[in-house]
């Protein structure tokens, strides 16, 4: 994007981008901690994750306010308008990732005293894959890398397959162990991770759109089976 006559406009764009990067960093850190808290039955770590969600909400509101004021005062067009529109969508995706991560923390508190199931390990593996996707999505925005954004978008199918397989295994294990309450929490944690994966693809879509001016072809991807 070229420099603008209005230095305030450029300052607004810098504010928006830096705070999107900040939101992405918080989400990455929270998700990593959420996976560890679930795996280790760490209630203190789970509580830290829950308390961080408010910060994400505040930053999203700040970004929204600046975007709305910038559109109203500067009346941007073309590339600039596309960037501002995408910023709102990306901030919303980060905020939802924060909500889902907070939910993982809350469910971890509910199972922290229970005997851990063997299926915590594959859930943790799913979480690490999702966290890698999130890191790539954040990096695609920070470095303005459309190829990396496309890589994130294409990799969502693999996460969906892992989630589907994990769900089947977890339900089968619950029937044998009869740990319905613990198992239901783990099922929701796995679902939250899958949804976080979806939001990383939304971020990638917006990054790709900003950089190329083109929408990703959703019709070319297989539909979800759940």
More confident residue, 130 or 179: 130
pLDDT tens column, 132-146: 999 999 999 999 999
The pLDDT value given to residue 90: 97
pLDDT for 115 beyond 70: no
Q: What is the pLDDT of residue 24?
A: 96
> What local confidence, expressed as pLDDT, does residue 123 receive?
92
Comparing CA positions, the residue from 209, 217, 194, 48 lying closest to residue 133 is 194
**Segment 149-157 mean pLDDT:** 92
The structure tokens 């925005």 sit at 141
- What mean pLDDT value characterizes the chain? 88
**pLDDT on residue 127:** 95
Sequence-ordered alpha helix ranges (H) in the chain: 7-40, 43-74, 78-111, 120-142, 146-177, 180-212
Q: What is the mean pLDDT of residues 150-156?
A: 92
Query: What's the N-to-C CA distance of the chain in angstroms?
Result: 40
Split at pLDDT 50, 70, 90, the class of 110 is: confident
Specify whether the CB–CB gap between 170 and 190 falls below 8 A: yes
For residue 153, what are the contacts with CB-CB under 8 A and spacing of at least 6? 201, 204, 205, 208, 216
User: According to the model, what pLDDT value does residue 78 have?
Assistant: 79
pLDDT at 2: 44
Q: Are 211 and 149 in contact (CB under 8 A)?
A: yes
Reply yes or no on whether the pLDDT at 190 is more than 50: yes
pLDDT exceeds 70 at position 112: no
User: Tens of pLDDT along 7-17?
Assistant: 788 888 999 99
The CATH topology of domain 7-220 is Methane Monooxygenase Hydroxylase; Chain G, domain 1 (1.20.58)
Please tell me the least confidently modeled range out of 62-76, 161-175, 184-198.
Answer: 161-175
Q: Which residue has the higher pLDDT, 182 or 154?
A: 154
Whether 1 has a pLDDT exceeding 60, the answer reads: no
What is the rounded distance in angstroms from the CA atom of residue 205 to the CA atom of residue 74?
25
- Quote the CA–CA distance of 192 and 198 in Å, as a whole number: 10
């Amino acid at each position: 994007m070229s420099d603008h006559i209005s230095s305030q406009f450029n300052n607004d764009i810098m504010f928006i981008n830096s705070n999107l990067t900040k939101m992405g960093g918080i989400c990455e850190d929270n998700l990593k901690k959420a996976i560890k808290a679930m795996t280790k039955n760490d209630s203190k770590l789970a509580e830290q994750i829950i308390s961080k969600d408010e910060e994400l909400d505040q930053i999203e509101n700040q970004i929204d306010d600046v975007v709305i004021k910038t559109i109203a005062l500067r009346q941007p067009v073309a590339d600039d308008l596309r960037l501002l529109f995408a910023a709102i969508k990306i901030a919303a995706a980060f905020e939802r990732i924060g909500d889902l991560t907070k939910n993982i923390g809350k469910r971890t508190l509910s199972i922290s005293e229970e005997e851990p199931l063997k299926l915590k390990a594959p859930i943790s593996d799913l979480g690490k894959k999702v966290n890698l996707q999130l890191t790539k999505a954040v990096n695609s925005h920070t470095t303005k890398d459309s190829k990396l954004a496309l890589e994130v978008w294409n990799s969502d199918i693999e996460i969906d397959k892992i989630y589907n397989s994990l769900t089947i295994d977890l339900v089968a294990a619950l029937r044998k162990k009869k740990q319905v309450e613990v198992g239901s929490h783990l099922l929701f944690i796995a679902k939250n991770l899958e949804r976080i994966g979806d939001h990383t693809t939304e971020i990638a879509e917006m990054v790709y759109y900003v950089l190329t001016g083109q929408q990703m072809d959703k019709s070319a991807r297989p539909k979800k089976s759940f």
